[in-house]
Amino acid sequence: MDIKRTVLWVVFSLSLLLLWDNWMRYNGKPSMFFPTATQQQAKPAAGAGAPAGNVNPDVPQASAAAPTTPAVVPGTSAAAQGERITITTDVIKADIDTLGGELVRLELLKQKDTLDPSKNVVLFDSSAQRTYLAQTGLIGGPFPNHKSNFVAKPGPRSLDGRNDVQLVLESEQNGVKLTKTYTFQRGSYTIDLKHEVANQSGAPVNPSLYLQLVRDGSKPEGESRFYSTFTGPAIYTDAEKFQKLDFKKIEEGKAEHATKADNGWFALVQHYFVSAFIPPQNVAREIYTKKVGNNLYAVGEILPLGTVAPGATATMDTHLYSGPQESAVLEKIAPGLELVKDYGWLTIVAKPIFWLMTQIHKLLGNWGWTIIVLTILIKLAFFPLSAASYRSMAKMKTVTPRMQAIRERYKSDPQKMNQAMMELYKTEKINPLGGCLPIVVQIPVFIALYWVLLASVEMRGAPWLGWIHDLTAPDPFYILPILMAVSMFIQTKLNPTPPDPVQAKVMMFMPIVFSVMFFFFPAGLVLYWVVNNVLSIAQQWVITRNMAGSKTA
Q: What percent of the chain has pLDDT over 90?
A: 51
Which residue has better confidence, 100 or 414? 100
CA distance 1 to 500: 11
pLDDT band of 444, cuts 50, 70, 90: confident
Residue 217: what pLDDT? 94
CA distance 87 to 65: 39
pLDDT band of 197, cuts 50, 70, 90: very high
pLDDT band of 538, cuts 50, 70, 90: confident
Compute, in degrees rounded to 10, the torsion defined by CA atoms 429, 431, 435, 440. -150
Residue 242 has pLDDT above 60, yes or no: yes
**At a CB cut-off of 8 Å and minimum separation 6, what does 547 contact?**
391, 394, 395, 398
Residue 384: what pLDDT? 75
Q: Where are the domains of the chain?
A: 3-23+350-552, 35-74+82-341
Average pLDDT over residues 353-368: 95
CA distance 283 to 180: 19
Residue 505: what pLDDT? 67
Residue 14: what pLDDT? 52
Residue 101 has pLDDT above 90, yes or no: yes
Residue 472: what pLDDT? 86
**At a CB cut-off of 8 Å and minimum separation 6, what does 393 contact?**
4, 434, 435, 495, 496, 540
What does the pLDDT look like over 423-433, one tens digit per residue?
887 777 776 66
Residue 36 has pLDDT above 70, yes or no: no
**At a CB cut-off of 8 Å and minimum separation 6, what does 506 contact?**
none
Residue 380: what pLDDT? 86
Average pLDDT over residues 318-324: 97
Residue 323 has pLDDT above 90, yes or no: yes
Helix (H, G, I), strand (E, B) or coil at 110: strand
Residue 394: what pLDDT? 66
- Given a contact cutoff of 8 angstroms between Cβ atoms, the answer to whether 107 and 127 are in contact is no
Mean pLDDT of the chain: 82
Residue 409: what pLDDT? 84
Residue 75: what pLDDT? 37
Per-residue burial over 122-141, b if 16 or more Cβ lie within 10 Å, else e, is bbbbbeeebbbbbbbbbbbb
CA distance 405 to 117: 62
Continuous segment of H or E residues that includes residue 546: helix 523-552
What does the pLDDT look like over 124-178, one tens digit per residue?
999 989 999 999 999 998 999 999 999 999 999 999 999 999 999 999 999 999 9
Smallest CA-to-CA distance from 295 within 130, 136, 89, 474 is with 130
Amino acid at 305: L
Provide the whole-model pTM: 0.79
Residue 51 has pLDDT above 50, yes or no: no
CA distance 89 to 94: 9
Q: What topology does CATH give the domain 35-74+82-341? A: Beta-galactosidase; Chain A, domain 5 (2.70.98)
Helix (H, G, I), strand (E, B) or coil at 249: helix
What does the pLDDT look like over 457-488, one tens digit per residue?
999 989 999 899 999 888 999 999 889 888 88
Average pLDDT over residues 10-19: 52
CA distance 368 to 462: 8
- Given a contact cutoff of 8 angstroms between Cβ atoms, the answer to whether 415 and 513 are in contact is no
Continuous segment of H or E residues that includes residue 92: strand 92-97
Residue 377: what pLDDT? 92
Residue 266: what pLDDT? 98
Residue 46: what pLDDT? 34
Compute, in degrees rounded to 10, the torsion defined by CA atoms 26, 32, 34, 39. 120
Instruction: Work out whether strand 296-304 and strand 208-216 pair parallel, antiparallel, or are unpaired.
Output: antiparallel
Amino acid at 276: A
Average pLDDT over residues 412-419: 84
Residue 541 has pLDDT above 60, yes or no: yes
Residue 495: what pLDDT? 67
